[in-house]
Structure 1
Amino acid sequence: MRMIAVAGAGLLLALTGCGNEASAGGSLKGNVYLSTAVTEDGKPKQLVPNSRVRLTFTDDGRLIADAGCNSMQSPVDTGGGQLTMDDEIAQTAMGCDPQRHAQDGWLIKVLQSEPTWKLEADRLTVTSGGTTISLTDRRTAEPDLALDGTKWSLETVISGETASHQAGSEKVWITLNGDRVTGSTGCNELQGKVARGTGTLTFGEIATTRRACPGDAGKLEQTLLTNLKGDVSYEIDSNRLKLRAGSNGLDFTG
């Protein structure tokens, strides 16, 4: 994913472990939280449809946040019941519609304001002035989908440091069942064999129907088939399936 530096107090916060997290209800490190409600001055704030705030507190001391389009990350100090960021954040640079772009900016502003936080069991509350974001542990809010039997729709193509949503991706999908993979390239139907390992999938030859796929459809089909070849690692996070082979890969949603 191409990352760009953004001036200002950093957004996604790395957990440094300094300060007294217990005073705020426990440790955030190693957990992912998804928003369940947002209020501003006591009134509900409607997020962009089909979006939510996602805060990922990593084991190596970062907070990765997104609000439906680009992701942001930076070191964070969680001591004293506050989230305190660095002076810079790193942000991906995928194109967003104006509504999601504005929502990204809103989330950055909230997280740069040194909001307070409180953790009660699996519920996290982040407060800045009149804004309150209520979140729930991802494992409770969105348990991992099963690898088998889920229709995985293509969302993002990863190539080196670049992440892109290509035209026609919404028509591309795969489903795995045992040693079989079926799906669509967005132009042709596909089927083939796949073997399982610990955190890995090994794709055999993928057969497709033979409809001509000109222009972008043909390029997307080739990208898909190139990534569904040989050994790839896989990870399921809630409703997201990530396939990786080196620095290239595919992200799907279930």
Structure 2
Amino acid sequence: MTRTLIALVAAALLALAAAGCGSDDDTPRTTSPTGTSGSERSEVSAADLAGKKFVSTDIAGPRTLVDGSQVALQFDDDSLAANAGCNNMLGGYEIVDARLRWATDPISTAIGCRPDLMRQDDWLAGFFRGVGAEIGVDDDGQLVLARDGVELWLREGTASSGPARQAPIVGTRWTLVTIADGGADGTASSVPAGVTTPTLRFTDDDRAEVFAGCNGGGGRGVVGDDGFAEIGPLALTRKACDEAAMATERTVTSILDGRVALGFDGGGNLVVSKAGRQLIFRAG
């Protein structure tokens, strides 16, 4: 079953090539995992995973996880958000022939972390590239991923450490940290220097309060229970600003217009997506 990226999340740059990235060998492994259960795996589909979060419990093979870190995955209808202890990455995904792989090149935040955590980011991104990782569910109900001799077990739930807490969408003031404007290179940018940071707040009375980089105002903002919101039309002030601020404002308002997808990445950031373009906001 194939899921393509409709519009979830986020931003940014996924980078450093791949210490520990998987190979492109497309021969499926037939051995069953031995980690915590040693049981055969049953098949799993994208529909089985949609809306669920998983966190690693064990890893076996020629790789270990950095002490104190965990792998966290969040599956939505059309996208996979992943975190290996540093940056949050997101891309479209698909499951083909019992292998989980990126359907679009993932994008990522660009937080600077310790080198070992950044290398772990690169490894996880590579784990799902190319032919991807074998995927199944063991007899204990854990998700099992396998590639190149590495087997990773994950339970449903959230990470026990790291910035995974999610603030409520409604009532929280969200501050823009990353813009992914749908470029072919899969990169994203932060708010340009000198531009006042855009913000978004959904209110209990179905309004959206927006500061877009130059002008502020609001309009209709109805957050549904289906992972989507209806925004606009927005009425903003009409002040003129420099070109960087106006360009930022045009991007923000073009995405915050109509039906948008809402989701969280592995770091608890709010991802607002529309037509392959994303705005990523942190709480506060």
TM-score higher than 0.5: yes
**Gapped regions of structure 1 (runs ≥ 5):** 12-18, 79-83
- Is 1:216 the counterpart of 2:250 in the alignment? no
Conserved? CA contact 2:42–2:137, under 8 Å: no
- For 1:207, the equivalent position in structure 2 comes to 236
- For 1:228, the equivalent position in structure 2 comes to 256
TM-score when normalising by structure 2:
0.54
Instruction: List per-residue Cα deviations over 1:71-98 (Å, max 9, x = no partner).
Output: 46564554xxxxx578x98533668568
What is the distance in 2 between the residues matched to 1:246 and 1:127? 32
**Higher relative contact order, structure no. (Cα contacts within 8 Å, ≥ 6 residues apart):** 2
Q: Which amino acid aligns with 2:179?
A: T
- Is 1:135 the counterpart of 2:154 in the alignment? yes
Paired positions, count? 234
What is the distance in 2 between the residues matched to 1:58 and 1:20? 27
Q: 1:65 to 1:219 in 2, by over 3 A?
A: same
Greater fraction of residues in strand: 1
Conserved? CA contact 1:206–1:225, under 8 Å: no
TM superposition shift of 1:26: 5.7
TM superposition shift of 1:176: 0.6
- Is 1:35 the counterpart of 2:49 in the alignment? no
- For 2:219, the equivalent position in structure 1 comes to 193
Instruction: List per-residue Cα deviations over 1:75-127 (Å, max 9, x = no partner).
Output: 4554xxxxx578x9853366856847633332256566869974635x54657
Return 23-32 or 151-160, whichever deviates more.
23-32
Greater fraction of residues in helix: 1
What is the distance in 1 between the residues matched to 2:88 and 2:67? 16
TM-score when normalising by structure 1:
0.58
What is the distance in 2 between the residues matched to 1:69 and 1:174? 20
TM superposition shift of 1:187: 5.3
Conserved? CA contact 1:118–1:124, under 8 Å: yes
- For 1:172, the equivalent position in structure 2 comes to 198
- Is 1:9 the counterpart of 2:27 in the alignment? no
- For 2:105, the equivalent position in structure 1 comes to 91
Instruction: List per-residue Cα deviations over 1:107-166 (Å, max 9, x = no partner).
Output: 256566869974635x54657799775534257976875331123232333336555223
Q: 1:43 to 1:158 in 2, by over 3 A?
A: closer
**Gapped regions of structure 2 (runs ≥ 5):** 6-12, 15-20, 34-38
Conserved? CA contact 2:41–2:138, under 8 Å: yes
Q: 1:117 to 1:205 in 2, by over 3 A?
A: closer
Q: 1:150 to 1:24 in 2, by over 3 A?
A: farther
- For 1:53, the equivalent position in structure 2 comes to 71
Give 3-state SS (helix, strand or coil) of 2:247's partner: helix
Conserved? CA contact 1:203–1:228, under 8 Å: yes
Conserved? CA contact 2:55–2:157, under 8 Å: no
Give 3-state SS (helix, strand or coil) of 1:164's partner: coil
